[in-house]
Amino acid sequence: MSEHDRNETALARELKAAADASTPRAIDVDAVLGASRAKRRARRTAVVGGAGALVAVLAVGGLVFGMQDGLFGSTSADSSLESGSVAESAPEVADERDESGPVDAEAALEMPYCGARVAPTTDPATAPLAVRLVVPENTAPGTSVAADVIVTNDGEATVSGSIRLVPGLAVDDDGVVVWRTSDPGGPGTGLELAPGESLTLRGSLETRRCVFGDEPLDEAPRADLPPLTAGSYGARAMVEFFAFDSLARFVLVSPGEPFTVE
Amino acid sequence: MSRPWDAVATELVVERGDALSRYAYLLTGSVDDAADLVQDALVRTFGTPRMRLTLPRAEAYVRRAILNAVIDRSRRDGTWRHVRHLTAVPASIASTADATDERLDLVARVRELAPRQAACIVLRYYDDLTVDGVAEVLGISPGAVKRYLSDGLRALSSAIDPAGARPARTGGDHVGT
């Protein structure tokens, strides 16, 4: 046995001895279940209730939400929003449904951590909406880059639901996340898209590099990250959507969009 | 009515609760902190809807949540972390029978590592996971795991006693955070 092997064996032995000597405090299962249930309920209420309005988008690309720091920014779209498209109140969706329903079954993963593999692109066959990201082809390192996230109904039937207005964005280097925002968030707003219609959400990404551990769970990376080195990267968007017909939550992931840092 | 995630959460706590607590303990050095971290990580995991939440996936989520909390805490405590070895002798040194042993307590040294190095060390050598297994649990590449293990082992090498001649550690609560 080599010295390296002996060291590994000794390390394992001492870790086990230390861990075994500790007496873990019992975990309160009821407290965990209760707190988890409350957190899920609050999250669902935010998605379903949201701004409380059902927005009918009447023209392709007809509505653009500009987002800054999780709040509504300027509405820089054409006039379709003003053309009488804000409609009736959002349908009531009972929040006390059994949580074993479609919300759990269809819920998807969150933004991958810095250093993790990117999330797989959503299979269009299984999602009610398609997501596409538009970013400049060339960007400078260490800067903030505007990104348009276009949500389209490519299906043959009208899709209605509630969408979170702040998309999640991630930059990857050969499939490994090197920068990310926090998870999709912001207020949930009622949405109705006829076949072929689309909605544009706005966000921004940073051409900076993070590594695993640079962000606490559910939060964005720090602002003091080093700039990306020159080269080719990819960007992806995540959008959270709650479908009224199936009462299912979807986290829709766009295909990777290449761009160059130079 | 029982919910699927209720059942997974309950099963995870019953079957893996102690393992999770000991993992957190090795990263924090405090039984109470470990329990709080595990409980919070469980709520974070089961408080967010997730697709196909099986027991192994749930455990991986909880372990990542624990590690992220440790990383977050170490960042907040960064200043103290950098200087505390200058001002205090680890409690575990005083508690050993062999007063002439000049090596620092190995487990305390693990906690002095960068959190992701420590997590890789604990998962690899305490939980006996393979490199690929550690990578899967932490959501990082196997190459990154190898680097963390290599760096961690190098940092610990002076504290490792291959012959096992040192007295076994006793208790855990005495080790300060």
Report how far Cα B28 is from the mean position of its chain's Cα atoms.
7
A to B CB pairs, distance under 8 Å: 190
The enclosing domain of A252 has a CATH number of 2.60.40.2360
Alpha helices in chain B (DSSP H): 4-28, 31-46, 55-76, 78-87, 91-95, 106-112, 115-121, 131-138, 142-156
* pLDDT tens per residue, range A70-97: 322 222 222 222 222 223 333 333 333 3
Residue A4 has a pLDDT of 75
Residue with token string 């066959």:
A125
Residue B20 has a pLDDT of 93
Nearest CA in chain A to B166: A14
Q: What is the percentage of chain B residues whose pLDDT exceeds 70?
A: 69
* pLDDT tens per residue, range B116-138: 888 899 999 988 889 998 888 87
Closest partner residue to A217 (CB to CB) among B4, B34, B65 is B65
For residue A39, being part of any structural domain is answered with no
Residue B76 has a pLDDT of 58
Bridge partners (DSSP) of residue A259 are A233
Radius of gyration of chain A (CA): 22
pLDDT confidence tier of residue B78, bands split at 50, 70 and 90 = low
Would you tell me how many other CB atoms lie within 10 Å of the CB of residue B52? 10
Structural domain including A137 reads 52-261
Average of per-residue pLDDT values in chain A: 73
Average pLDDT for B91-116: 60
pLDDT at B66 over 80: yes
Average pLDDT for A58-69: 39
Residues of chain A with Cβ-Cβ distance to B116 below 8 Å are 212-213
Closest partner residue to A32 (CB to CB) among B9, B125, B128 is B9
Nearest CA in chain B to A20: B22
For residue A227, being part of any structural domain is answered with yes
SS3 A61: coil
Of residues B56 and A207, the one with the higher pLDDT is: A207
A45 to chain B, any CB pair closer than 8 A? The answer is no
Of residues A154 and B82, the one with the higher pLDDT is: A154
Residue A115 has a pLDDT of 80
Average pLDDT for A38-49: 59
pLDDT at B56 over 80: yes
For residue A125, being part of any structural domain is answered with yes
Kindly state the tokens that stand for B93.
């040194």
Residue A7 has a pLDDT of 79
Based on the structure, what is the number of domains in chain A? 1
Are B68 and A217 a contacting pair at CB < 8 A? yes
For residue A37, being part of any structural domain is answered with no
* pLDDT tens per residue, range A143-197: 999 999 999 998 888 998 889 888 999 999 998 889 988 878 777 788 889 999 9
Residues of chain B with Cβ-Cβ distance to A98 below 8 Å are 1, 3
Of residues A94 and A13, the one with the higher pLDDT is: A13
